[in-house]
Chains A and B, each alone.
Chain A
Amino acid sequence: MSRKLTDVLAQADARLEYHAMGTPPAQPTPREAAGAPSPRAARLRDLYYGALSSASNEFPHWYTRAYMRLDNEIPVVRRALALESAFRHLTPTIFPGELLVMGKTHHYRGSFPMPWLSEGYYMAAENQLYQDALARGSASADAVSTFGTGGGNVTRSFGPVVSIAGKFGIRREEVPAMLLVAHAWEGRSVDDIGHKYEQMAPGYEIKEALMRSVTCMFDSGYTLPQGREVVNYYYPLQFGFDELIEMTERKKTDVAGRADGDGLAGMNRLYNYEAASHVLRGVRAWIENYAREARRLEAMERDAVQRREYAEIADCLEWIAHRPPRTFREALQLTWTVHVAVLNEDVISGLSPGRLGQTLWPWYEQDVAAGRLDEAAALELLECLRVKYTCLDCFASMGVVGGVLSGNTFNNLSVGGLDRDGRPANNRLEELIITAAMTCASTQPTLTLLYDDKLPESFLLKAMECIKTGTGYPAVVNNRTAIEFLIGQYGSEGMDLEEARAIAIGGCLETSPCSWMPLTLNGRPYWIPGGSGQPTSVGVHFLSLPKILELVLFDGVDRRTGLRVFPAHGRALGSYEELFDQVKAYFAKAVEVLSLANNIQHDVWRKNNTAVFNSLLKPDCLESGHLIHELGYRYNATHNVETCGTVNLVNSLAALKSLVYDRGFVSLPAFRQALAENFGFKMADEVGSFSLASQEKRGDSTEHDRTHVECLTAPKYGNDNPYVDDILREWEEWFCTKCRDYESLNAMPYYACQISVSTHAPMGAVTMATPDGRLAGTTFADASMSAYPGTDRQGPYALFSSATCWDHSLSQNSQLNLKIHPTAIHGRAGTKKLLELTRSYMRKGGFHIQYNVVDSRILKDAQEHPEEYRDLLVRVAGFTQYWVEIGKPIQDEIIARTEYEGVQG
């Protein structure tokens, strides 16, 4: 029988501690109960639980059919006409019991490919398009990414259903047409055209090797070109579609034939307004089609209650298709409709509704005051909204949807924060939003609390109660740190303190620029917040820091594939300083070549695939006539460099510094040898587990055991130990500053972004053993400020001290996840304890903290009996997901995270 890592450690009288601050109770403990949804929401959520991720060809068919017919049009108008046709032809489906209607496709849980972005990744492996994608590196991450096989994931073909991109099911009758549509985009997609031009950038061969070795995870320009941003619902809410269309027509007359002092882009305004008009008409027609379907169902329905509900749906849609909403329900439906319309315009993850409770407050407040709405009715609507959001799927490649997103779509709803005058911005509707998230727990929208010391204690405690139920939300984000970042990043574009207070989180954790918009409802003025920046988390994504270190140690060669990724550095690495310097040098080279290629891809995207609908929603595109491709958004300095594996890098540098350079315990060549031989262990995929403690020795050799034990017991991040924390601080200060040396396609500096999402699994899968003792193929530490599982032994406050040894406002984000046993924060006293813990991290300047409140034994049981845990939610890294829908590597990593049995200092 193979020896396990625990045996090796035991022989050296050492161990990894997966429980901190006490021991768990004898029996597995469930989370605290959260209440139940309304019967209606429960039925609709049950329908989701049983629904498969379903793809269809309808939208791509109509889009492509119009686009190919219009090859003599101006590009932005051509795209708009294609979008208009696709929206007009979507089949409307309304399900019995729904109060809020409309979806991406006619399926309850539907999505579709967008071959105009990329067409190779969802082909069968033997298809030439797929092979081409593999050769250029853009499909390399697919091979090392996994989905959970439970829930709605269609990971295998069956009967009349063909599995595509590893997750989505499509009817076999649609496959031939889908393939023809995909082939129509061959050589025309953003992926293909971008590839043609990116090869002209210097260092392209390094870029391709970075992708093929999965040192970098994906190109955002053709995979997820939009998202990680906050949508803005203001214009449809204030003006309605008819007025917006009239506005674009008036603007066309104003600008036609006039450059108005702008010889480069002034004339483009005419085409942009023409495009906006077409897309608005398409979306309006789409809503009208749903209204007609509601009338049809009303006419055939025999049940009086259901008949009345169909009539109310029809009334609502017929109104909001043309005019601004009058009621909370109409406003809620309109925001949902607008949200889906943006999602159908592009492949998007992380399109966040932002501070929806504050956006919708005017209608809620006036409806309640007028007796048109009570809290029970509002709560039911909010629960229904949660089900609609949870049904959203993002159709993208296996590497992106599985390896990065874990099937999540990151529609983040923020609560709290401050208003434009600096007063607490929370309201009663936000409390109902939190309540709905507890009673109707589901993955979407995830919630973020914009923590500010000014917020009322009762509101903060309400958020803590929600966290305790184990939903994984709300995440807690430091409002003040985020404001500091925004003013620093967007000050040159006019961001001031008042505007920065409109902050919301886009995607899982992306601090996003927003603005206050002046709304009037029934003569009463309000300021409502909404997104005003371009997509964030586009640019260089994701860079694996442990892999960069591996390449330094092995002179630029990826040992897994044998690929030379970087030119040989040829340095002896005779000192720790020289080693760290080379890590920085390779990192800088990677960002240099990746930023050039990504700038080209995004430029092709914005030229040929302009976001028309999303653009016209964002200030100040309608006013200026310039859409995203002409920097019409108020804030455009949004491109960044996103990393993964920070803590494994830092722990590894600490181990090298200690063992090789300070103590001389082992020579660098011998250390390399031990890493190359995985310390004598099997590969993680051979073992079938991706957590460190489960790994098994390959044979009886004990050759590397002493070195391995020393690696594992070397100083580790998370224990308030300056030996390691100084390394973290040096890295962070260098990294956050260095990013600004690179220029985005918008001629603005890149910035630092540090969230792992799910990439710590696939990137761990391709990375050999690291000097911190982590073994080959196992996952990295999650997030950027979470401790590596089993290594944080001094309690949460020591972890907080380590995490905040650097200034978090230098970066768009940082991320710290903590797993807490339910008994540690049980009852009312536990709620207060959790708030105090959170508050202490916020006051130290930490940017983000989030909790998994769960007994690890329940997770282990869920792994063995997934059929009994369809509704089990866990926090991964910036998002909440159903346990059964995530891949085993991430499951193993969550189980392995240190479980805090108590949270006292």
Chain B
Amino acid sequence: MSVPSRHMHCRNYAPVDVVKGICHVTKAIVQADDDACPAFDRLPRCAECKRYVSGEAEYVGACSAEPGAPMTYPDLIAVTCESFEWRHA
């Protein structure tokens, strides 16, 4: 069973703070951790990138796009990352 997508992982989500944001589609305040709606548009994050390598510790991994595979983490937003490639098309 797949994990439901959350508002905070949606491209339409503008984060007001660490728990809530505004949905660009509905213009309503939504909670970051609530399940997303059918208009969900996946946000590029390291967790979604094929260059991301999971680490042993929770919430920590590495980026294989760069020499030395520097540390990164799954929730790092990657909309500005030049190396980002979707893990799943």
Q: Which A positions have Cβ atoms within 8 angstroms of B?
A: 47, 50-55, 57-58, 61, 65, 68-69, 88-96, 106-110, 152, 154, 159-161, 169-177, 180, 289, 297, 300-301
Contact indicator A176/B59 (Cβ below 8 Å): yes
A154, closest chain B residue (CB): B18
B residues within 8 A CB of A51?
16-17
Contact indicator B24/A96 (Cβ below 8 Å): yes
A residues within 8 A CB of B29?
50
A55 to B71 Cα, complex, angstroms: 19
B residues within 8 A CB of A170?
18
Partner of A96, one of B22, B79, B80: B22
Q: If the complex has contacts A51-B16, A51-B17, A152-B17, are A174 and B75 also in contact, measured as CB distance less than 8 A? A: yes
Q: Can you list, as one digit per residue, whether each of B55-89 has a CB less than 8 Å from chain A (1) or not (0)?
A: 00111100000101011111111011100000000
Q: If the complex has contacts A61-B72, A289-B80, are A176 and B18 also in contact, measured as CB distance less than 8 A? A: no
A851 CB to nearest B CB, Å? 33
B residues within 8 A CB of A107?
15-18
B14: interface (CB < 8 Å): yes
Contact indicator A106/B77 (Cβ below 8 Å): yes
B residues within 8 A CB of A92?
79-80
13 contacts between A and B (CB under 8 A): A50-B29, A52-B17, A69-B68, A88-B80, A89-B80, A91-B80, A109-B17, A152-B17, A161-B19, A169-B19, A173-B75, A176-B60, A289-B80
A858 CB to nearest B CB, Å? 29
Contact indicator B71/A177 (Cβ below 8 Å): yes
A300 CB to nearest B CB, Å? 7
Contact indicator B80/A61 (Cβ below 8 Å): no
Interface of A, secondary structure class, is mixed
A173 to B46 Cα, complex, angstroms: 13
B4 CB to nearest A CB, Å? 15
A162, closest chain B residue (CB): B18
Q: A107-B15, A159-B33 are in contact. List 7 more A-B contacts (CB 8 A).
A: A50-B29, A108-B16, A169-B19, A170-B18, A173-B59, A300-B24, A301-B24
Contact indicator B16/A47 (Cβ below 8 Å): yes
B42: interface (CB < 8 Å): no
Tally of B interface residues using CB under 8 Å: 32
In the A-B complex, list the 6 residue pairs whose CB atoms are closest, starting with the nearest.
A177-B73, A52-B17, A54-B17, A108-B16, A54-B18, A173-B75
Q: Which of A90, A92, A176 has the largest number of chain B CB atoms within 10 A?
A: A176
B33 CB to nearest A CB, Å? 6
Q: Which of A55, A88, A91, A159 has the largest number of chain B CB atoms within 10 A?
A: A91
B residues within 8 A CB of A57?
73, 76
B residues within 8 A CB of A180?
60, 71
A residues within 8 A CB of B25?
300
A297, closest chain B residue (CB): B24
Q: Can you list, as one digit per residue, whether each of B5-40 has a CB less than 8 Å from chain A (1) or not (0)?
A: 000000010111111101011010100110000000
A488 CB to nearest B CB, Å? 46
A94, closest chain B residue (CB): B14
Contact indicator B33/A160 (Cβ below 8 Å): yes
A53 to B19 Cα, complex, angstroms: 11
Partner of B70, one of A68, A106, A109, A301: A68
Contact indicator A177/B17 (Cβ below 8 Å): no
Contact indicator A90/B18 (Cβ below 8 Å): no
A552 to B22 Cα, complex, angstroms: 58
B73 CB to nearest A CB, Å? 4
B51 CB to nearest A CB, Å? 14
Partner of A108, one of B15, B33, B58, B79: B15
B68, closest chain A residue (CB): A69
Partner of B75, one of A68, A109, A171: A171
A107 to B16 Cα, complex, angstroms: 5
A57 to B59 Cα, complex, angstroms: 13
A residues within 8 A CB of B33?
159-160
Contact indicator B70/A58 (Cβ below 8 Å): no
B residues within 8 A CB of A172?
59
Contact indicator B70/A93 (Cβ below 8 Å): no
A88 to B78 Cα, complex, angstroms: 11
B60, closest chain A residue (CB): A176
A57 to B75 Cα, complex, angstroms: 10
Partner of A52, one of B19, B24, B57, B71: B19
Contact indicator B14/A93 (Cβ below 8 Å): yes
Contact indicator B18/A171 (Cβ below 8 Å): yes
Q: Which of A93, A106, A160 has the largest number of chain B CB atoms within 10 A?
A: A93
A173 to B77 Cα, complex, angstroms: 12
A176 to B58 Cα, complex, angstroms: 8
Partner of B59, one of A47, A89, A175: A175
A176 CB to nearest B CB, Å? 5
A301 to B16 Cα, complex, angstroms: 19
Partner of B77, one of A54, A58, A88, A177: A58
Contact indicator B27/A96 (Cβ below 8 Å): yes
A58 to B77 Cα, complex, angstroms: 8
B residues within 8 A CB of A177?
59-60, 71-73, 76
A residues within 8 A CB of B19?
52, 159-161, 169
A151 CB to nearest B CB, Å? 12
Contact indicator B70/A65 (Cβ below 8 Å): yes
B11, closest chain A residue (CB): A296
A96, closest chain B residue (CB): B27
A835 to B81 Cα, complex, angstroms: 56
A550 to B70 Cα, complex, angstroms: 53
A780 to B54 Cα, complex, angstroms: 54
Partner of B18, one of A58, A61, A169, A297: A169
A161 to B12 Cα, complex, angstroms: 22
B33, closest chain A residue (CB): A160
Q: If the complex has contacts A65-B70, A69-B68, are A108 and B59 also in contact, measured as CB distance less than 8 A? A: no
A171 to B76 Cα, complex, angstroms: 11
A175 to B60 Cα, complex, angstroms: 10
A92 to B73 Cα, complex, angstroms: 19
A92 to B68 Cα, complex, angstroms: 28
A66, closest chain B residue (CB): B70
A residues within 8 A CB of B79?
91-92
A108 to B13 Cα, complex, angstroms: 12
A residues within 8 A CB of B71?
65, 177, 180
A154 to B17 Cα, complex, angstroms: 11
A residues within 8 A CB of B77?
58, 91, 106
Contact indicator A176/B57 (Cβ below 8 Å): yes
A300 to B24 Cα, complex, angstroms: 9
B residues within 8 A CB of A53?
17
B residues within 8 A CB of A89?
80-81
Q: Which of B12, B15, B27, B74 has the largest number of chain A CB atoms within 10 A?
A: B15
A406 to B4 Cα, complex, angstroms: 40
A715 to B34 Cα, complex, angstroms: 63
A286, closest chain B residue (CB): B80
A106 to B57 Cα, complex, angstroms: 26
Q: Which of A50, A170, A177, A297 has the largest number of chain B CB atoms within 10 A?
A: A177
A residues within 8 A CB of B81?
89
A residues within 8 A CB of B16?
47, 50-51, 95, 107-109
B80, closest chain A residue (CB): A89
Contact indicator B68/A176 (Cβ below 8 Å): no
B40 CB to nearest A CB, Å? 13
Contact indicator B17/A61 (Cβ below 8 Å): no
A residues within 8 A CB of B12?
300
B34 CB to nearest A CB, Å? 12
A52 to B18 Cα, complex, angstroms: 7
A53 to B18 Cα, complex, angstroms: 8
B residues within 8 A CB of A108?
14-17
B79 CB to nearest A CB, Å? 6
A47 to B20 Cα, complex, angstroms: 11
B residues within 8 A CB of A161?
18-19
B residues within 8 A CB of A173?
59, 73-75
Contact indicator B22/A174 (Cβ below 8 Å): no
